[in-house]
Amino acid sequence: MAAPEHPTWSNYITALMTTPYWIEPPAKREQVGGIWIEKMKEYNVDLSSYASVKEYAVTIYYHLTSRSMPLTDDQTQFWPQQALDAFRLWVNEGLRETDSDPIVPSDAIPIAPRPVEAPLRIRRDILTLTELELNIYRAKLDDVLRVKDLHSPWQYLCLVHSDWCLHYQEAFLPWHRVHVAYVESLIDLPIPYWNFFAADSATYGHPSSGIPQAFLDDTYTHPTTGEQRPNPLKYALAKDGLSKNGISPYPVRDPLLADPKAGTKDQRSDKVKMTELFLRQISDALAFPVFSHPQGAVGYPWANIAVFDPPQRDCDYPYRGVNFDGLFEQPHDNYHGWIGPDMADNAYTAFDPIFWSYHANVDRIFEIWRKAHLDAKYSSQFPLRPFVGNGRDIRIDMEEPRSWAFTSIGDVARDSKVLGYAFGEPKYPDYGYATTRIPHASSGTTNNLPLGVVPGADEEDAVPYIVFDKIGCTMDSFSIDVFLVPEGSTFSLTTSQDDTSSFTPNNPHYVGRMMRLGMGTSTNSDRCIRGRGITRVLNGQRCAQALGLKEGSDVKLVQLVRNVADGNIVDETEWKKWDGFEGEIVWGMPMGA
């Protein structure tokens, strides 16, 4: 559709908004325009109104050129250059409504040289890669990062995570987003993601379950030389060339995942089945409309919330201070421990190549949430040390004294395409999650719908939550398995790691696992939270339904705490002395699904 020499609102611009000519087939144009109009009304902009578009025209233009405007995620719907040029000309000629209006030249939108944009990097599901594509990625790890060398870029960039990674705070997801993008800039290739969030990933034997074969193969064929080499996704050097166990030079993973002959078939199946609880946790997290507790310019963790002391039941409980990133970090930690033991220690985790594909998918889930909550608020100025750059051109500067010079949360809490990358579709569909916004929590009044509550839920349908308060950083990693045991039950706690069936959703007493991901040794003491710590919550609704529990039921909370590194059980008299290890049952309304 050719633009007129002098576009006006009535002769051209309104059609760009209401029936965009580049949409195919033509029958969809009015439908797409209608969706845009309704979407932008949420931001107090009416694209069908001359007055509204006139008022926000310059802002609209720059959003359209950046392709970050919340009109669409479909790249085929992005405005073509011809339409953008016509819109800019309309603005610069005085925003005329009709042909009878005079042309009033201006430079409201200067004509700037168009930069040559680098093509988007597309992070693809690792299960969709061809053998050649996978081997190209492996070769990058070998040739560029030199993962088998002790003195290498690999050791350096992994130590950046060991010393600088941020957890238990609002910067958790943005910091890791920058770190993954930084590695991609080094190898000039997108990192393929491992979709642990696939719907059937908790089904033993399904292609999406367990660790992808790409990380288990012993060798690969180098795409340039043709030689057979050790697979760098399996044989990358661990931290300082020694695994967490002090024996292997390579990262060690749970044998039930890494060795198809380890244990029994039932044990391997139970290991996979455990992740069903993690999937539910992620699904719960995606339903929350608030990203995080504000971190503030100087850094206040989302977890700096009033502890439940004593826990109390009101219309907001258990959502007070619990947000998307806090709920999501919980299953994030669980998967780290599930893969372990190297992945279960923050000082060692980045040295396992699966970490990078794991966090590429963590970032994809963050992007799913971000797209569904375009009005989310962030502590935009908070610095993500030691990274410098605006999100695209990232580098590391350990000596920079100016906090404003670092990459910030605001730089990266944006559409990933603005940052230079996008995500390909997963090979297998994701586990279910909320696709519509859940109303924000009230500020204490009981006549508003509480955050996450299933509409129509009765007060008598309250479910148990296991609340852990005052959680802070620990040196070692611990798993906390939680069980609900009604009075008179014949339930007997197993302490054998061989009895894997007790730690799956098939056990009606088993609430789930909370992983306390150890920070390990570090040269940077600022990465851990201070003060009263954070609050985390396990949802006991499934157990309550299976056991017939109601608020007021006589039920006991049983916990099994284990040191992940050596597998030893921590005596109850010991872990009860530690902050954040002892849970408490609190009844509240069910989460939305």
Q: What is the pLDDT confidence band of residue 316, given thresholds at 50, 70 and 90? A: very low
Q: Which of 280, 586, 335 is nearest to 477 (CA)?
A: 335
Read off the DSSP letter of residue 228.
E
CB atoms within 10 A of CB 68: 14
Integer Rg of the chain from CA: 26
Q: What is the pLDDT confidence band of residue 312, given thresholds at 50, 70 and 90? A: very low
Lowest mean pLDDT segment, chosen from 20-29, 176-185, 340-349, 521-530 = 521-530
Q: Which amino acid is located at 526 in the chain?
A: D
Q: Where does 56-171 have alpha helices with state H?
A: 57-66, 81-92, 131-143, 153-164
Each residue of 332-355: b (16+ CB within 10 Å) or e?
bbbbbbbbbbbbbbbbbbbbbbbb
The better pLDDT of the pair 297, 553 is held by 553
Both tokens of 513, joined, read: 């696992």
pLDDT of residue 528: 58
How far apart are the C-alpha atoms of 231 and 223, rounded to whole Å?
13
Fold classification of 459-588 (topology level): Hemocyanin; Chain: A, domain 2 (2.60.310)
Task: Read off the pLDDT of each residue in 270-294 and give the average, rounded to a whole number.
Answer: 87
Q: Is residue 179 classed as helix, strand or coil in its secondary structure?
A: helix
Residues in a beta bridge with 430:
198
Mean pLDDT, the chain, rounded, equals 83
The pairing of strands 395-396 and 383-388 is antiparallel
DSSP string, 449-493: PPTTPPTT--GGG-EEEEEEEEE---SS-EEEEEEEEETT-----
CA distances from 477 to 222, 345, 562 (A): 37, 6, 9
How far apart are the C-alpha atoms of 160 and 385, rounded to whole Å?
10
Element spanning 284, H or E: helix 275-286
pLDDT of residue 439: 30
Both tokens of 62, joined, read: 């720059």
CB 173 within 8 A of CB 363: yes
CATH of domain 121-208+233-249+265-423: 1.10.1280.10
Read off the DSSP letter of residue 13.
I
CA dihedral 454, 455, 461, 466 (to 10 degrees): 30
End-to-end CA distance of the chain: give it in Å, rounded: 44
Both tokens of 56, joined, read: 């926000």
Q: Is the pLDDT of residue 450 over 80?
A: no
pLDDT of residue 526: 58
Both tokens of 357, joined, read: 């594909």
The better pLDDT of the pair 270, 496 is held by 270
Query: Which range, 39-48, 187-196, 365-374, has the best average confidence (pLDDT)?
Result: 187-196
Tokens 């949802």 -> residue: 539
Q: Is the pLDDT of residue 592 over 90?
A: no
Read off the DSSP letter of residue 525.
G
Q: Which of 180, 439, 142, 499 is nearest to 288 (CA)?
A: 439
pLDDT of residue 297: 38
- What is the 3-state secondary structure of 322-358? CCHHHHHHHHHHHHHHHHCEHHHECCCHHHCCHHHHH
CB 84 within 8 A of CB 64: yes
pLDDT of residue 445: 24
The pairing of strands 219-221 and 228-230 is antiparallel
569, exposed or middle or buried, with CB in 10 Å at 0-12, 13-18, 19+? middle
Both tokens of 411, joined, read: 């730089």
How far apart are the C-alpha atoms of 384 and 381, rounded to whole Å?
9
Task: Read off the pLDDT of each residue in 460-469 and give the average, rounded to a whole number.
Answer: 81
pLDDT of residue 524: 57
Q: Is residue 38 classed as helix, strand or coil in its secondary structure?
A: helix
What ranges do the domains of the chain cover? 9-92, 121-208+233-249+265-423, 459-588
How far apart are the C-alpha atoms of 184 and 357, rounded to whole Å?
11
How far apart are the C-alpha atoms of 61 and 85, rounded to whole Å?
10
Q: How far is CA 312 from the centre of its chain?
A: 30
Q: What is the pLDDT confidence band of residue 398, given thresholds at 50, 70 and 90? A: confident
What proportion of the chain, given as a percentage, has pLDDT over 70?
Answer: 84
**pLDDT, tens digit, for every residue of 155-212?**
999 999 988 888 778 888 999 999 999 999 999 999 999 999 999 999 999 999 999 9
Q: Which of 549, 532, 537 is nearest to 586 (CA)?
A: 537
How far apart are the C-alpha atoms of 376 and 364, rounded to whole Å?
17
Q: Is the pLDDT of residue 442 over 50?
A: no
Both tokens of 554, joined, read: 């006589």
188, exposed or middle or buried, with CB in 10 Å at 0-12, 13-18, 19+? exposed
CB 465 within 8 A of CB 586: yes
Q: What is the pLDDT confidence band of residue 74, given thresholds at 50, 70 and 90? A: low
DSSP string, 192-205: PB--TTBTTTTSTT
Q: Which of 523, 441, 177 is nearest to 325 (CA)?
A: 177
Q: Is the pLDDT of residue 340 over 70?
A: yes
